[in-house]
Amino acid sequence: MGLSGSGKSTLLRCLNGLVRPERGRVLIEGTAPRIDPTAADAETLRQIRLTRVSMVFQQHSLLPWRTLRQNVALGLEFRDLGRAEINAIVDEKLELVGLGDWKDKYPEELSGGMQQRVGLARALATDADILLLDEPLSALDPLIRMRMQDELLALQRVLQKTMIFVSHDLDEALRLGSRIALMEAGRVVQLGTPAEIVTSPATEYVKRFVANVNPLAILRGGSLMQPLESLPRDPADARVLLLDRTGHCRCTLSAEGRPGVLSIGGKAGRLVAYDETLVLEALPEDVLITGPLETSMRTALTVNHSTGRPMLLLDGDGRLRGVISEWDILRAMVGAREGKRAEPGVEPLSTAV
């Protein structure tokens, strides 16, 4: 991402050989030897574009005289495939993007968001490992754009492709990207996770770029929590962990590192996994909420504010990894505003794709 003219789209076009760089290489994994589109001959480039790399353009690039099915089939028609096989693949991809009932319509009969889905289906039809997306959502209305971002994230959870997405919208980049390359005047000035970009800007340019970002949307449990190793213990019984600053909430750990006996205000407590359907304000006082390490700062703040109690973060095996209190959240927000990592020594976790 970066401002207009920073070189985003030019760099993207280097990845599939549309632009030849003056120096440097692009290496595509998955074959032996690895392929470099910047040095490939015409036939190799053609095969890369047919099978390995697909592209989604900003203005959809749909052919108006072709139906949706015919537009999506375009890349497949250059392969040695029968019409029945092509139609089966196309129909599957149109169903995947929610346009199965529109396959015989023409682009002019569709909304902007639907046209963008056709472009995405066309890119997916070749089953390429790598998708290049050149500001594909920038021409859409804000509400449609947000919905398309949700759909793209949902597709990625299913397809697990390598997606390289160009954007000049910071909110979009932070929402979609697992890693962000921030560009200025043709150079990559910082590469990192969204949390790293926001909390540890590498240059004054990056600092200005992220100055107005709300850390609630970016920081994750791994960069907020007080890790297990630093939790204080009861002086009278070293087996008991103090989960908040007052010692109101306490627990022991099992041999496997999972929360054991839980105490809240001297009474037996219990754990409940966070779910968006929970009415937090209505939970009884004997409940502590748990969540995964990927829990967002917004969720942790909501849990703390609504229950008045800390949130426990567990790994995939149910082991306690740390605790988030309102104090930890405040410290994280101050750290983000000062351009520092919120919790030194704790690696921020990816937020998205």
pLDDT digits (tens, 9 = 90+) for 44-53: 888 888 888 8
- Please check whether residue 147 lies inside any domain of the structure: yes
Are 45 and 156 contained in the same domain?
yes
Q: Tell me, what's the pLDDT at 59?
A: 59
Query: Domain boundary residue among 144, 162, 177?
Result: 177
Same domain (yes/no): 158, 304: no
Q: What's the pLDDT at 350? A: 41
- Grade residue 121 by pLDDT with cuts at 50, 70 and 90: confident
Strand order in the sheet with 162-166: 53-56, 130-134, 162-166
**252: helix, strand or coil:** strand
| In-domain check, residue 348 | no
Report pLDDT for 333. 65
pLDDT grade, residue 32 (50/70/90)? low
Full-prediction pTM beyond 0.75? no
Band of the pLDDT at 179, cuts 50, 70, 90? very high
pLDDT band for position 341 (50/70/90)? Answer: very low
pLDDT of 344 strictly over 60: no
Does residue 230 share a domain with residue 88?
A: no
Given pLDDT bands bounded at 50, 70 and 90, which one contains residue 345? Answer: very low
Q: Say yes or no: 254 and 314 in one domain.
A: yes
Amino acid 202: pLDDT: 92
The mean predicted confidence, pLDDT, of the chain is 82
User: Do 12 and 76 share a structural domain?
Assistant: yes
226-242 residue pLDDT tens: 888 888 898 888 888 88
Q: Sorting pLDDT into bands at 50, 70 and 90, what band is 110? A: confident
Does residue 180 surpass a pLDDT of 90? yes
Dist. CA 180–CA 196, nearest whole Å:
9
User: Domain boundary residue among 151, 177, 203?
Assistant: 177
Domain boundary among 123, 147, 177: 177
Q: How confident is the model at residue 340 (pLDDT cuts 50, 70, 90)?
A: very low
Judge if 168 and 227 occupy the same domain. no
**Which positions ≥6 away from 145 have C-beta within 8 Å?**
137, 172
pLDDT of residue 160: 84
Residues 154 and 267 in one domain: no
CB-based contacts of 186: which residues, under 8 Å, 6+ apart? 6, 7, 10
Asked if the structure places residue 38 within a domain, the reply is yes
Residue 332 pLDDT grade (very low, low, confident, very high; cuts 50, 70, 90)? low
- 159 and 288, same domain (yes or no): no
CA distance 191 to 100: 38
Look up the CATH number of the domain holding residue 301. Answer: 3.10.580.10
Q: Which domain holds residue 13?
A: 8-177
Question: What is the rounded distance in angstroms from the CA atom of residue 2 to the CA atom of residue 18?
Answer: 20
Reported confidence tier of residue 205, pLDDT bands at 50, 70, 90:
very high
Give the CATH number, domain containing residue 29.
3.40.50.300
What local confidence, expressed as pLDDT, does residue 37 receive?
Answer: 86
Task: Decide if pLDDT at 326 tops 70.
Answer: yes
pLDDT at res. 349: 39
In the chain, the number of structural domains is 2
The CA radius of gyration of the chain, in Å to the nearest whole number, is 25
Tens digits of residue pLDDT in 35-92: 888 888 888 888 888 888 888 776 567 888 999 888 888 888 888 788 888 889 888 8
Neighbours of 39 (CB within 10 A): 12
Residues in contact with 308: Cβ distance below 8 Å, sequence separation at least 6, in sequence order: none
Q: 172 and 26 share a domain?
A: yes
Beta-carbon-side half-sphere exposure of residue 226 (alpha carbons within 13 Å): 19
Residue 120 forms part of a structural domain: yes
Q: Exposed (0-12), middle (13-18) or buried (19+): which is 212, by Cβ within 10 Å?
A: exposed
Question: Side by side, which strands form the sheet with 311-314?
Answer: 226-227, 320-324, 311-314, 287-292, 270-273
Are both 25 and 154 inside the same structural domain? yes
Residue 279 backbone dihedrals phi, psi, to 5 degrees: -90, 95
The CA–CA distances, whole Å, from 185 to 12, 131, 163 equal 15, 24, 23
Residue 208 inside a domain? The answer is no
* Residue 231: its H or E element: none
Q: 220-259 burial, b for 16+ CB within 10 Å, e for fewer?
A: bbbbbbbebeebeeeeeeeebbbbbeeeebbbebeeeeeb
User: Following DSSP, what letter does each residue of 256-299 receive, concatenated?
Assistant: TS-EEEEEETTEE-EEEE--TT--GGGS-TTEEEEEETT-BHHH
Together in a domain, 37 and 150: yes
Q: Are residues 168 and 235 in the same domain?
A: no
pLDDT band at 348 (very low <50, low <70, confident <90, very high): very low
Is 324:201 a contact under the CB 8 Å cutoff? no
Q: Is residue 43 domain-resident?
A: yes
